[in-house]
Amino acid sequence: MTPVPEMDERLRHATEGALKRPPESLYDLKKVKALNDFCYYGDPYYQKDHGEPEPGDFSAIGLMENLHTLEFGTPRSQSIPIVLAADFSFLLPCRKLKKLDLRWTNFSDCTLLLQLPALKCVLLPSQKQLTGTEALKALVDRGVTVEIPAEYLPPMVRQPAQGSEPVRAVVTEIQKRTAIDGWELTVQPDIVPGLFDSKLGGLPYWPAGLPYPTDSAGEKLILLAQIDLEQIGAEDPLPKTGLLQFFAGRGDNFGADWGEDTSSGFRVVWHERVDRTLTPEQVQALGIPTHAGLDYWPVLQETAVTAQRTTTWMGPADGGFDALFAQVWEEVTGQPPAKPDFQDFLEEPDRDYLYDQLWSSGHRLLGWPCFVQYDPRETKSPYRTLLFQLDSDWNEDETYVMWGDGGVGNFFISPENLKRHDFSDVFYTWDCG
């Protein structure tokens, strides 16, 4: 068994986080697919600005041949980098690397990025420290998303995809045929939610005497989200009043079994009537757990959410999209598509346009879902209606929700049960990259 080479403490911390244990061999390094969280609590530079850290040895990253996401992280103080390295050639063996966040490093040589064949997105530090910036245009032309601080030259900004005339016509027709109204939810990190408010995570409303949801082992479930239906202005087919709650288990799968049955590993609860005299202390006395203190859980912090009406359309994530696209394409152009899969048939600018117009990411009630991998529902599944979608949600400063390495969670219900406000039979799933 080949031992793990010496590595910088930040890299060791990130590797342990990815594996959920210390690496024991070279084989362990080959298992790492996503690497982030280079800050560690014993690091003085994590705590406050003590000046720039010493350059470290990050060469072990080059041994992670299956790595597809590398994010060096955001320091507590944004005046200092997280990673200093003599050079970044250790990236070159990472032939599967798709996303690379270099913002808080001393990276400079942009020509190195041209040697990463799978790269799809790169986040760069300030232009002031970059060299070989002519390589960035070549990356953009290759379809790579290049994000860089605002002082960089405008020609490097990638413009939204335009799409050809036939594709624009097809997208417009798909939007006409599949439009579904719903509510888009937006995190409000500056608002402290109360016991009865719409929120992600935190302490749920729960009256004494009502059996609390548990998994098959008797472990109490944890709140993913709570929605005050009256607060958001809910309308049919949703109930117009009460609290709608979504719970999941704390295991590695977060209560999902990826089969179309009602599992004990999750629960959807509708409180038709709410006792607003209840206090947080009374709920806490029931021994109800929250996400606080969990090392591995999708919702990383309690945040209030607001809702606004929105319209979504069937997009490429839905299992029925290929058939609909083929039908509409033939109607619009008079010819069937040359290939059954639109991704093989359309050119890259047209694919980008289609995704830009139809993709339905974000947190939402009702509407069309998105998936990172594929639609897990069977063709004749009764769970045709998206009830709730909880997406990964982060920015350069904070992470609010994270499914695995950037996935999405979904709760589906049959139209009939939704109309009856019966939430006892729901299909729950999540996936990540």
Residue among 4, 76, 79, 85 at smallest CA distance from 41: 76
Among 105, 123, 156, where does a domain finish?
Answer: 156
CATH number of the domain enclosing 376: 2.30.320.10
The confidence score (pLDDT) of residue 77 equals 43
Question: Would the CA dihedral through 74, 75, 77, 79 be positive or negative?
Answer: negative
Is 265 in contact with 215 (CB distance < 8 Å)? yes
Report pLDDT digits (tens) over 341-396.
888 888 888 888 898 899 899 999 999 999 988 888 877 789 999 999 999 998 77
Instruction: Look at residue 324 and tell me if it is in a domain.
Output: no
Among the ranges given (12-16, 118-122, 169-173), the one the predictor scored with the smallest mean pLDDT: 12-16
Identify residue 415 by its one-letter amino acid code.
P
Q: How confident is the model at residue 155 (pLDDT cuts 50, 70, 90)?
A: very low
* Same-domain pairing of 51 and 185: no
- Tell me which residue has tokens 């997105």: 121
Count CB neighbours of 20 within 10 A.
Answer: 9
Find the range with the poorest average confidence among 90-104, 194-208, 277-291, 413-427: 90-104
Looking at residue 151, its pLDDT comes to 42
- Give, to the nearest 10 degrees, the angle between helix 165-178 and helix 348-358: 20
> Within this chain, do residues 58 and 192 fall inside the same structural domain, yes or no?
no
Query: Is residue 341 one of the residues assigned to a domain?
Result: no
Task: Give the total number of structural domains in the chain.
Answer: 2
Measured distance CA(214)–CA(248) in Å, rounded: 9
**Is the confidence at residue 328, as pLDDT, over 80?**
yes
Identify whether residues 118 and 202 lie together within a single domain. no
Choose between 399 and 195: higher pLDDT: 195
Q: Which amino acid is at 287?
A: G
d(CA 173, CA 329): 9
DSSP one-letter code for 124: -
Contacts of 150 (CB under 8 A, 6+ apart): none
Token pair 């888009």 is found at 184
| Nearest-angstrom CA–CA distance, 403 and 255 | 13
Rg of the chain over all Cα atoms, to the nearest angstrom: 24
Q: Is the pLDDT of residue 69 over 80?
A: yes
Q: Is 325 within the bounds of a domain?
A: no
Q: What's the pLDDT band for 46 if we cut at 50, 70, 90?
A: very low
CA–CA dist 74, 66 (Å, integer): 23
What backbone torsions phi and psi does residue 78 show, to the nearest 5 degrees?
A: -80, 10
- The CATH number of the domain holding residue 95 is 3.80.10
Domain membership flag for residue 382: yes
| Model pTM score | 0.65
Q: How far apart are CA 120 and CA 143, in angstroms?
A: 7
Residue 317, domain member (yes or no): no
Distant-in-sequence, close-in-space partners of 133: CB < 8 Å, separation ≥ 6? 110, 127, 153, 156
- Tell me if 331 is assigned to some domain: no
- 343 within a domain of the structure (yes/no): no
Which residues form the domain of 215? 180-311+355-431
Per-residue pLDDT, 76? 45
- DSSP three-state, residue 181: strand
Looking at the structure, tell me whether residues 270 and 369 fall in a common domain. Answer: yes
| pLDDT higher than threshold 70 for residue 39 | no
Q: What is the pLDDT of residue 10?
A: 79
Token look-up 């790595």 returns 67
Whether residue 323 is contained in a domain is answered as: no
As a whole number of angstroms, the distance between CA 87 and CA 58 comes to 10
* Residues 201, 247 within the same domain: yes
Same domain flag for 139 and 226: no
CA–CA distances in Å: residue 86 to residues 54, 83, 127, 180, 204 = 10, 10, 19, 53, 49
Same domain, 110 and 224: no
* Single-letter amino acid code for the residue at 7: M
147 with 201, same domain: the answer is no
CA atoms of 223 and 241, how far apart (whole Å): 19
Same domain flag for 133 and 216? no
What are the φ/ψ torsions at residue 20 (nearest 5 degrees)?
65, 20
DSSP calls for 157-180: SPPPP---HHHHHHHHHHHHHH-E
Decide if 319 contacts 378 (C-beta within 8 A).
no
Last residue of a domain, which of 156, 171, 189? 156
**Same domain assignment for residues 197 and 127:** no
The DSSP line for 372-424 is SS---S-TT-S--EEEEEEE-EE-SS-EEE--TTT-EEEEEE-HHHHHTT--S
Which residue(s) pair with 328 in the sheet? Answer: none
> What digits encode the pLDDT tens for the residues 218-268?
999 999 999 999 999 999 999 999 999 999 998 878 988 766 545 578 999
Residues 283 and 375 reside in one and the same domain: yes
- The reply to whether 403 and 267 lie within a common domain is yes
11: helix, coil or strand?
helix
186 is written with which tokens?
Answer: 């937006």
**What are the tokens at 198?**
């719409």
Mean pLDDT of 108-137: 88
